A = this chain, B = another copy of it.
Amino acid sequence: MHKTDKAPSVIIFSQGDEVITGALVDTNAAFLADQCRLLGFDVIRHITVSDDLADLVQVLKEVDAMADVCLCTGGLGPTQDDLTAEAFAQAFQVELEMDSEALVMIAEFFAQLKIPMADVNKKQALLPTNSTRIDNRWGTAPGFSAVGQQCRFYFMPGVPYEMKQMMETFVLADLQRQFKLEQPRLITFRSMGMGESDIQQAVNSLEIDNDIRVSFRAGMPENELKLLFPQSHTKEQVQYWVDNVSDALGASLFAIDGWGQSVSNLPDCVDQLMTEKKLTLSLIETLSQGDIARQCQADWLLTSAVYPKVSGIQTAFSTVQQPIGEALALEIAKENRARHKTALSLVQLHKKVNDTTVAVFTAVADAHGHISSTKEVWGRALRQQTVASALAFNLIRKFIQNQ
């Protein structure tokens, strides 16, 4: 196997009181780490500290000694708590200079919003000597890139949208210019209905090459299996593993993301099928209480009725006298489809089994046939809702794909 050089290392550095105190979940760190990995970097650490100058200086020096690249978010705002540029200047003994172009851009930003620019905003145009400004067209804070003793730092705002725009317009391209990277290929196998341990066992038995990074994420209830192939793998080698993994996952596999397809989850998979086949849907939900409907697209979902208690359906479908179960779900699905004249109809009912478990009955029907299922779902109310919705989408998918 072709041995590649060691990948350059990255540290993700988040700063700010909101993150350190837990007022805010740091979604930036995961986003940035993922982007770096897809470029071919090795992410070695995430570090978060508060807006304290001494701490910031200390961490910048530590990071400089440890990593080739540091992606830093937060601390670029106009207030006293925003100390990033100052901390960088102290850590690496450089000056801060007023960047006149940045100042003009900040002024223009305020002019556009018709808000007077406060004096404190001028501070945001102070950047370290020899740094490269990263423009921010979506907020007041420009970012900047600069090299410490040996590590290349990129400083971006903490606002996720502004950070992501800077990544797309400058940082990703600059990283590729500055470093020799072997970009890996990521393929995600999305499955539903096969347990975590079963998937792991199936994958273990395949004895996947060591240089393919295998990772697994147990969703609720969708599961993701990711294979990260080094650039050195040929299309044929990748295809070999895609075929083998697909066989191992069998019917539970609903999409292969990154290998011709682009599918983010089950509702997205169903949307692609409904759109492609120009189908429409009418829907009745109980346990999921609208959670199925909200994940459908308005283009093909014509109507949905929610009855948190199944007994509420009896008024609407008074002809139906059967006990709650799979057969009743199917009966109502047929009737509701006729009422609303949709191509497909889905009905999901449920019945309490015990304090923590409900039985979920799902039925899908069209003019020619139907499919139905009964599954027990345990856990708290929110978990039951989520699983029930996924069961519904999975049944629609199976029904359309098997036609």
Contact = CB atoms under 8 A, between A and B. Distances in A.
By CB atoms of chain B within 10 A, which of A17, A30, A290, A308 has the most?
A290
Interface string A151-183: 000000000000000000000000000000000
Size bin of chain A's contact surface: 35 or more
A297 B22 CA distance: 29
Contact of A305 (B45, B292, B305, B309): B305
Nearest to A285: B290
A301 B293 contact: no
A17 B308 contact: no
Nearest to A339: B315
Contact of A302 (B47, B291, B312): B312
B21 A34 contact: yes
B285 A289 contact: no
A215 B17 contact: yes
B26 A29 contact: yes
Given A34-B23, A47-B46, A291 B294 contact: yes
A308 B302 contact: yes
A46 B44 contact: no
Interface stretch (A48-56, A236-244, A250-258, A394-402): A48-56
Contact of A294 (B24, B45, B294): B294
Top 10 A-B residue pairs of the complex, sorted by shortest distance between their CB atoms = A290-B290, A22-B33, A22-B34, A290-B293, A298-B308, A46-B48, A304-B306, A22-B30, A290-B294, A25-B30
Interface of A: 12, 14, 17-27, 29-37, 43-50, 55, 215, 217, 226, 283, 285, 288-294, 296-298, 301-309, 312, 385
Given A18-B215, A21-B43, A289-B296, 9 more contacts: A21-B33, A23-B34, A23-B215, A23-B226, A26-B26, A46-B46, A301-B306, A302-B307, A304-B305
